[in-house]
Amino acid sequence: MHKASQGRSKAVYVNNMMEFKADRIKLVEEIARDANESFGLESIDYVMHCGDCIYYWKSSERHPVLFRRTATAEEEIFNLDVLEQNCEFIEIIEFKISPDLKYIAVIYDISGKELNDFAIIDIDSKNVIYRIRSMRIGSLVSWSNSSSEVCVSQYNGLNINQNIIKINLRDECGNSLLHHGEAEVISIGGVGSDQFLICESDGENCNYYIKDEKSEFKIDEPCEGYDVAVEYQNGEAFLIENRYSKLVIYHLCLEEREFKIFTSLNCESEPVEILISSEYICLIESSGTSRIIYKYCKYDNYYQRSAIYTSSDSVLSFVKPIGSLINSETIMISELLYTSYSRIITLGDNNSLNSIRENGLRLSIKSSSKSINLNGTSVPVTEIYAANHKMKHRVILTLYASYGIPNLPFYDPILLYMILFENVKFVIVHSRGTGGLGEVWTESGKGAVGKLNSVEDFLSVAEYYYQLNGMQLSAMANSAGATLLLSAVHRRHEFFSRIVLKAPFVSVVETLLNANLPYSIEDRAEWGDPTILDDLILMNRLDPMRNIRRIKDAKLPDLMVFSSENDIRSSEGKIVDYLRHYAKVSPSSDILLESSKNSGHSGESVRSNAICNKIASYMFLLNI
């Protein structure tokens, strides 16, 4: 591996990565084979429920395959090759099954530039019956209750859902503009045979519209929720707004155009998934690492609450619920375990656990949660490590702490291999800004002040493990989390030996000052507004590009970076510019760059490439 030197070009960084992989290709293949034989390399994602079935994508030889699962059987619906053959990159943005279970509406990206396409597939024939290309399709899709119409959102110039396009299957799939938004459209829901409920948000309040081809009805009372679920039946709709630890349920009579609060539910912790039926609400609450499932039975004007399931044992305490379904008799929960890629739990009317079906192995892996307090703030962390190792663990830290997204454990067979055979302790740091830990914790990690809070929390945890182990740490992070990690490294680089970054956001201030770039305006709520002087002063302390230019000679950690030429969120040009400055500050540090032409912000979609990159990341962090 070559050492970094001043003025290095992108080609030199890429060559270093190629040499790194070439030197270890046989070992990479061995690890992939062993991990596959031990744990299976399949994973589940993009889960949704419809009717009495769960639909989800499962990894295959190249791209994911859509499956339909009931409590007793599983069948393949279609391969992504139906959409696009022989493509190097494809990412599913969203998909919905029609209520009559005959069609799938899919939003997907094949460029990595988030210029999404849209298609409708006939489930029986597996043929594409309708497609929209090059119209800046957004990220929202919904069917009407009659299954004859489907709505899909359309981005404006800043990648914000604004317009709604309606496709009529009875009219040979003709499309028309149903809604031109004045603000960001955050949800669409079918609330009648041919009617749609559209929710717009200006960042503070939500406005609702009910629309069909001939009429429009605007609900006068603005609402405050940030997540909306809709249940429609017999001319009525129930809207459930998620306000962190409180749910507000609105009742809407479509014929009389009446809209009023039905009831409010106070939750003990933050809801992470809400599912509603004609008879009750199924609510999965998060209290950090445990999950509690509540059922609210609906009566005349209130809901009676009962807890029906709690994830409590050593494995279940790290369950990530990724899809559920409800009918009149049972609740079926499809869960993603850290040590097992799928699990189905069926709960009957008597709230008893009827059956568990699990794929995968129970391994000798321990998981624990604790809080670390070195600087006055208790920071929760999740540790995952092998139970039978007696030597000091090799610690790898990670964080995200942005956009209110929970940072939950996930099924990663390559990491499981490293935990069992390379003595890794994997530590997820839930810095302020992480979702699922309550409104105060999430909101205190937003804005210019909040992001510095997130960095302080991460550094407190890093200092704790640095002192505990008596050796430097490794760390890895993606996207916004990578930005926070870099900011922490700039301040206390002595804690870290090696770091891996995927699609880092390295030029925060300059990007957010350019109002013409996608996401720059909406991201100011998360990172701060550089047009405000007080925010700008704080953002300069966080911004990786501005920080690296101020650092003099120092021994910074060795660095591996993954980027994409097509990424519109994290500019590869800015990343390369940052690496040049990094090499000048720390000429003895190893710097490797993986530059992809066939991926986007989320990374490689071809399964073999993604596995290879993941193994290379851990080998780099562990200096294998």
**Any domain includes 586:** yes
| β-bridge partners, 358 | 343
Most confident of 129-143, 295-309, 434-448, 493-507: 493-507
**How much is the average pLDDT of 326-354?**
55
Residue with tokens 């769960």, as numbered in its chain:
54
Global pTM value? 0.86
**Any domain includes 32:** yes
| β-bridge partners, 119 | 106, 131
Averaged pLDDT of the chain: 80
Residue 314 pLDDT level (bands cut at 50, 70, 90): very low
Instruction: Tell me what pLDDT residue 141 has.
Output: 92
- Whether the pLDDT of residue 48 is over 80: the answer is no
Residue 583 pLDDT level (bands cut at 50, 70, 90): very high
**Any domain includes 292:** no
- Whether the pLDDT of residue 442 is over 60: the answer is yes
Higher pLDDT, 167 or 32: 167
Higher pLDDT, 72 or 85: 85
Most confident of 15-29, 336-350, 573-587: 573-587
Within 8 A by CB and 6+ apart from 418, the residues are 424, 618, 622
**Any domain includes 140:** no
Q: How far is CA 517 from the centre of its chain?
A: 22
**Any domain includes 44:** no
- Whether the pLDDT of residue 385 is over 90: the answer is no
| Residue closest to 569 by CA, chosen among 476, 507, 620, 484 | 507
pLDDT tens digits, 183-234: 888 888 887 777 888 888 877 777 788 887 777 777 766 566 556 666 666 5
Backbone angles phi, psi at 313, to 5 degrees: -75, 180
Instruction: Tell me what pLDDT residue 231 has.
Output: 65
Residue with tokens 């182990």, as numbered in its chain:
469
**Any domain includes 543:** yes
**Any domain includes 293:** no
**Any domain includes 75:** no
H or E stretch including 176? strand 174-180
d(CA 96, CA 117): 15
**How much is the average pLDDT of 381-403?**
87
| Residue closest to 484 by CA, chosen among 434, 554, 424 | 434
Residue 312 pLDDT level (bands cut at 50, 70, 90): very low
Sign, CA torsion 447/488/502/367: negative
Higher pLDDT, 380 or 208: 380
- Per DSSP, the three-state class of 238 is strand
- Whether the pLDDT of residue 492 is over 90: the answer is yes
**Percentage above 90 pLDDT, the chain:** 31
Give the Å distances, CA to CA, from 308 to 125, 275, 305: 40, 15, 10
- Whether the pLDDT of residue 400 is over 50: the answer is yes
Instruction: Locate 570 and state its tokens.
Output: 């994290």
Sign, CA torsion 96/98/101/102: negative
Higher pLDDT, 306 or 448: 448
CATH number at residue 476: 3.40.50.1820
Instruction: Tell me what pLDDT residue 318 has.
Output: 32
Most confident of 8-22, 106-120, 339-353, 454-468: 454-468
| Residue closest to 555 by CA, chosen among 488, 476, 482, 498 | 498
Bin 235: left if φ > 0, else alpha if -120 < ψ < 50, else beta.
Answer: left
Instruction: Tell me what pLDDT residue 584 has.
Output: 93
Instruction: Tell me what pLDDT residue 560 has.
Output: 95
Instruction: Tell me what pLDDT residue 593 has.
Output: 93
Q: Which domain holds residue 424?
A: 10-37+362-622
d(CA 532, CA 538): 10
Domains held by the chain: number: 1
- Whether the pLDDT of residue 358 is over 60: the answer is no
Higher pLDDT, 364 or 601: 601
The end-to-end CA distance of the chain, in Å, is 12
Within 8 A by CB and 6+ apart from 200, the residues are 181, 182, 183, 184, 185, 186, 206, 207, 208, 209
